[in-house]
Amino acid sequence: MKQSTFDNKYLPYILLIPTFFILVVFLFYPAIETFRLSFFKIHPWTGAEKFAGFYNFVKIFTNRDYLRSFILSAFFALIVIAAGLFLSLLIALLLNQKIKGMRFYRSLLIWPYALSPAIAGALFNFLFNPANGVLCYFTGFRTWLTNGNTAIIVVIIAAVWKNLGYNIIFYLTSLRNVPGAALESASIDGAGSVKKFIYITFAFLSPTTFFLFVMNTIYAYFASFGLIDVLTEGGPSGSTKILIYYLYKDFFVHSKIGYAAAESLVLFSLVVGVTALQFRTAGKKVHYQ
C-alpha cells in the first residue's frame, strides 16, 4: 500500500491555519485576557481599567457568600460524581445482559444525554414547579424548589440523570471488552459473582472509570450551569448557587468584570487541581490491559 505524502512541505501548516485561528480567537486570547483582567478594577459603565494587584482575589476569599458557594460546589460535585458513576455502572451491567428487547431499553436510557442542559432543567421544572408541577400535584408537597434543602436535592437528581447516558455509553463499550475466558476461569476456580466483578470486571473497567471520574468532575463544576439557570436560577436564597452560576451572576448581571475574571481563574485552578490530584491518586490504581 502506497503511503500518502505531502509534496509541499508548507501545505500541512497551511491546512492547520483554520484550526490555529479558532484556538487563538476562542481559547488562547480569552484565557490570557481573563488572566489580565483579574488583576484590574474595571468600571461597569465606562470600562475604565485600574490596576488592583491581588485585590480581587483577596475580596473573593473574604466573601462569605463565595466561600459558601465554594463548599456547596464541592458537595454538589462529590454527590453528582459518586451517584452518577455508581448508577451508570449498575445500569450498564443490567443492559449488558442478553435479554429480549435490550436495544430498546438501551436507547431509552441513553437518550437523556442528547438533551441540552436547558431542556433537562425545563423537564424537571415541569415536574417540581410549585405552581403546576406534576409531582407536586400527586404528592401534595409544593416546596421542592422553594425550600433550600429540597432544591439542591432536585438539582443533584437532575444533574445525575442528565449525564447518565454519557456514562452508560462508555461503560457498555468497556464491558464488551472484558474477556469471557477470564470470567470462566474464575468461575472454575470457585469465585462468586462479587469476586469476579471486583477482581476481573472492575479491573478491566478501571481506565474507563478514571476517565469518567475526570469528565464528571468537569461536568459538575462547569456543564451544570444551564440546568441550574433554568431550574432554580441559583435559589432559593443561594442554596443552588454553585461557583459557575456565581461567576455568571457577577459578570453578566452585576458587571463585576475584574472580580468575575478572578473568580474564573479560581474555578479553573480548582478543577485543574482536583484533576491533577485524581491523576496522582486514583490514576495509580488504573490497570491498562
- CA 183/CA 177 separation, integer angstroms: 12
The strand ranges marked E within 72-200 are none
Helix 148-175 to helix 202-218 angle (10° resolution) is 140
φ and ψ of 33, to 5 deg: -65, -40
pLDDT value, residue 76: 96
Residue 233 neighbours by CB under 8 Å, 6+ apart: none
pLDDT value, residue 106: 76
pTM of the model: 0.88
Query: Three-state SS for 50?
Result: strand
- CA 88/CA 27 separation, integer angstroms: 32
pLDDT value, residue 195: 80
pLDDT value, residue 2: 60
pLDDT value, residue 288: 55
For residue 206 the three cell numbers come to 478501571
Burial (CB < 10 A; 0-12, 13-18, 19+), residue 92, is buried
Taking domain 59-285, whether its CATH number is 1.10.3720.10 is answered by yes
pLDDT value, residue 166: 92
pLDDT value, residue 259: 93
Residue 130 neighbours by CB under 8 Å, 6+ apart: 136, 142, 143, 144, 145, 146
Per-residue pLDDT of the chain (289 residues; tens, 9 = 90+): 566 666 777 888 888 999 999 999 998 999 999 999 999 998 888 888 899 999 999 999 999 999 999 999 999 999 999 999 999 999 998 888 877 777 777 777 778 888 888 899 999 999 998 888 888 888 888 888 989 899 999 999 999 999 999 999 999 888 888 877 777 777 776 777 778 787 788 888 888 898 999 999 999 999 999 999 999 999 888 899 999 999 999 998 888 999 999 999 999 999 989 888 887 776 666 655 5
pLDDT value, residue 40: 92
